[in-house]
Amino acid sequence: MFALLLSGLMALVALSVDLGLLRVIQASMQNAVDAGAVEAVWQRDVEYWDPTGVDADARRRQLARDRLRRVFDEDYDLATENTEIRLGAGSVVTTGVVSTADPAGGLLQVGSVYAPGGAGDLFEFQLNLENLAHGDLVAGSFDDAALPPGTTYREAADYTRADFTPATPGTGAAAEAFLVRMRRSHDPLGLDNVPGVSSSGPSQPLLFSAGTFVRAEEGAAYDPRRDGLTVRATAIAEARPALAAGFQGPDSTLDGVPDWRGVFVHRGATGTVGLALSVSGWTALAAGPQALDVDGTGQITLGGSPVGRFFAVAPGDAASVGGIVPGPVAPSGSEVLLSPIPAFAVIFSDDGGLPPGTIVGFGPVYASYEPLDLTALALERSPVSRVAPGNASAVDPAARASLALSAPLRAAHAAFLAEPHLEAAAFVR
């Protein structure tokens, strides 16, 4: 009886160990695709920051792929390789068949780790410029109403989804949503290792469980002992209106993007400046650089009409939709950018139905002025909505609560979104 029970217990332990290993592998893959999806949304406007003939769709995908690769890069430098430490989503384990010619053929062999792309790695993540649904990187649109609330959604075998529609090839650069996937599969449909489109690591073989009673069915299309276990990870991120934004901080060593005038901008230097404009003032700004007047108290006027103000910025602060813009202060140089680096301006409502200075959104701007003449401000707003390359969030509990409770705020926020506004990357699946 003990021998019979021990055999069953060993089988359960073996399956538990193998399934636990699968969870660890899937978690590593999920971390990577999460990073890649957000990067792809951040880079939706890469051609705006760098209009020097860049192929926006290809560049966006390259940056997303590089971000995903760095999750598995020991020193965060894709140009170097550390052979002592190898990070990856599980080991590449192969098994052989015991034969008289090769008595060791049935042993497990660990050849490498599954880490897509980068120096010395075996698996190359594909850009999928054709934007096929089964690709590694897919631009498109997300429909969060496609599934009932609480529904657990699984991709179809051919990777089609009810909640995500791939963009038409050639339009991926402007797509609001982006899907990134990784997989370890035995490629049953021939969709997982298509050059230029998709890539896959080998499926995870049964290790401890190989010694249990798991056996092949003759003629079966799938057999875990022969084909291993498939592991997938998928993330979808989407550009949504920013509900919160941090103030511009000091420069940092974070990777960044060049702005539209060729100035390299670190993400740590991007953020909200101490510049607030009313919705009517934001709407009144014409295309191109606009000259505004600033008085000694920090009030900003356009054509003699008040349109905004400077306000004090404290390190570490952030602004949220539904908050109140602080009172005006005389500009001192710390409130406005002295170089043409993209920034975010706070936009407040001038509607009588809300408390004065209620924040309803954020606007992407280029702002500069002469240090010796603080009364002259040159301001240029983006002609279309832009995704913040960092330091902004589409999720803010306080803002969401305020929008849900205040009908005037909801109406003012919706009206502002008809104008060019700042967007942020948000996970949606």
- The b/e string for 140-156 (b: 16+ C-beta within 10 A; e otherwise) is bebeeeeeeeeeeeebe
Phi then psi dihedrals of residue 65, to 5 deg: -65, -40
Instruction: Name the residue with higher pLDDT: 154 or 50.
Output: 154
Task: Read off the pLDDT of residues 58-77 as tens digits, 9 standing for 90 and up.
Answer: 888 988 888 888 888 776 66
Give yes or no for residue 98 having a pLDDT over 60. no
38-68 exposure pattern, b = at least 16 Cβ within 10 A, e = fewer: bbbbbbbbbbbbbeeeeebbebbbebbbbbb
Average pLDDT of the chain to the nearest whole number: 77
Q: How many percent of the chain have pLDDT more than 70?
A: 72
Given pLDDT bands bounded at 50, 70 and 90, which one contains residue 217? low
Reported as a pLDDT band with limits 50, 70 and 90, residue 85 is low
- 376: pLDDT strictly greater than 90: no
pLDDT at 260: 34
* Encoded tokens for 381: 């707003």
Residue bearing tokens 């510049």: 275
- Average pLDDT rounded to a whole number, residues 231-236: 91
DSSP notation for 252-304: -SS-EEE-TTS-EEEGGG-SEEEEEEEHHHHHHPPSS-EEEEE-TTSEEEETT
pLDDT tens readout for residues 264-283? 444 445 778 788 999 999 98
Q: For 48-57, 131-140, 174-183, which range has the lowest pLDDT when averaged over its residues?
A: 48-57
| pTM reported for the whole predicted model | 0.81
Whether 336 and 369 have beta carbons less than 8 Å apart is answered as yes
- For residues 249 and 320, the answer to whether their CB atoms sit within 8 Å is no
pLDDT at residue 262, as a whole number: 40
Residue where the block lists tokens 């860049």: 54
pLDDT at residue 105 above 50? no
Side-chain-side CA neighbours of 146 within 13 Å: the count stands at 14
413 secondary structure, DSSP code: H
At residue 172, the pLDDT reads: 83
Q: Answer whether residue 254 shows pLDDT above 50.
A: no
Torsion of CA 294, 295, 299, 301, to 10 degrees: -50
Look at 421 and 173; give whichever has higher pLDDT.
Answer: 421
Segment 320-367, tens digit of pLDDT: 999 899 888 876 654 444 444 567 889 999 887 898 899 999 998 876
Q: Which of 38, 49, 62 is nearest to 257 (CA)?
A: 49
Check whether 139 has a pLDDT greater than 90: yes
pLDDT over threshold 90, residue 132: yes
Percent of the chain predicted with pLDDT > 90 = 18
| SS3 label, residue 308 | strand
